[in-house]
Amino acid sequence: MSESSEIQNIITDFIDAIRPQYVLAVTIAPFCGCLLTLLAVLYALSTPELRSLLIFKLNVVAVLVALTTGILNGYMNSLGLLEPFASDAPVSLSFTFAFFTLCSPLFYDSILLLRLLAFYPVRSAPLFTLAKVLAVPILVKCGRFVCLSLYLHGYYVSSVKYGPVTDWFQNPYVTSEWALQVIDNMYSCGFFLYKLHVHNSKISKFRSGSTMVSLIRNIFLISCANFVFPTLFNIAQIICITMDQSYLTTTLLLLINGYVSVIGVLGATIFGRTQNDAPKRRGQLLGR
């Protein structure tokens, strides 16, 4: 009985040891498949003119960054599953994964910042007005970049000395970056939603049933979703990093938050494209 219980304890400990790698690998794989599908749909619905726009290229780069993060995540955790007794992953690989995982949300949020330029075009808006609108998000993003740089520098130095061990728990740099990310999302998305609401109200006075009004309202709802879900994930990350020492929970929330952000941006782009093409298709059917 004692030998049987020892074997059972060994198996249980082994399963507990590889469970984080298994959960991370299995959970993130469907998000990568979803991104590939959305990217294919985006290309199918786009025109050469749309593909030449900066926002389209940035969306494609965001998908590639998210897929690279997923590939790194799958590769590192698969090594832990297939070779559980092998030595730790190389420092360069671990650092690259940490870099993509932590820095990609900053890139995604920078893409969303371009939505504000729809109301303040660079070529026509006064420079002082642009400075007032963009000063806060740019300063916040600079602060986020500084926090990430300090954390990644410390992570690399400690990894070289002691091996690649990621410890999110109560790290001041990561906590500060995530807190700034909440402020960044609240300002950028809140300001965009406010301007969109004002624009929608002006149009509704003259064209209450128009396609433009319906489009703006739908974009408003999508933008609300793009704001609410990432913000909730950010708050959950901060709670976990300050109260829970679970590497699995925090990393899972961080990765899912990044994929939700990219899927939201792609979904808004695809939806806007289909809505813009809808009047043209109706006109062709009516022979106009």
pLDDT at site 10: 76
The encoded tokens of residue 171 equal 């790290």
Cα dihedral 156/162/164/170 (nearest 10): -80
**DSSP code at position 42:** H
Amino acid 156 reads Y
Give the contacts of 143 (CB within 8 A, at least 6 positions apart). 176, 180
pLDDT at site 223: 58
Compute the half-sphere exposure of residue 169: CA atoms within 13 Å on the CB side of its CA.
Answer: 8
Q: What is the CA radius of gyration of the chain?
A: 23
pLDDT at site 226: 65
Amino acid 187 reads Y
Q: What is the pLDDT of residues 160-175, one digit of tens each?
A: 777 666 667 778 899 9
pLDDT at site 279: 42
Collapse the DSSP code of 245 into the 3-class scheme (helix H, G, I; strand E, B; otherwise coil) and give the result. coil
| Intervals of the chain under pLDDT 70 | 1-3, 84-87, 115, 118-119, 163-167, 195-227, 245, 267-288
Query: C-alpha distances in angstroms, 194 versus 44, 153, 210?
Result: 32, 38, 21
State the chain's mean pLDDT as an integer: 77
Alpha carbon distance 54, 131 (integer Å): 21
CB contact at 8 A, 263 and 38: yes
The reply to whether the predicted model has a pTM over 0.85 is no
Alpha carbon distance 165, 182 (integer Å): 26
Among positive and negative, which fits the CA dihedral 92, 94, 100, 102?
negative
The encoded tokens of residue 223 equal 């933008």
Which residue in the block uniquely carries the two structure tokens 């062709």? 284
Among positive and negative, which fits the CA dihedral 261, 265, 144, 196?
negative
CB contact at 8 A, 100 and 68: yes
* Alpha helices, DSSP H, located in the chain: 2-45, 48-51, 54-82, 91-113, 127-162, 172-204, 211-243, 247-285
Q: What is the pLDDT of residues 267-278, one digit of tens each?
A: 655 554 544 444
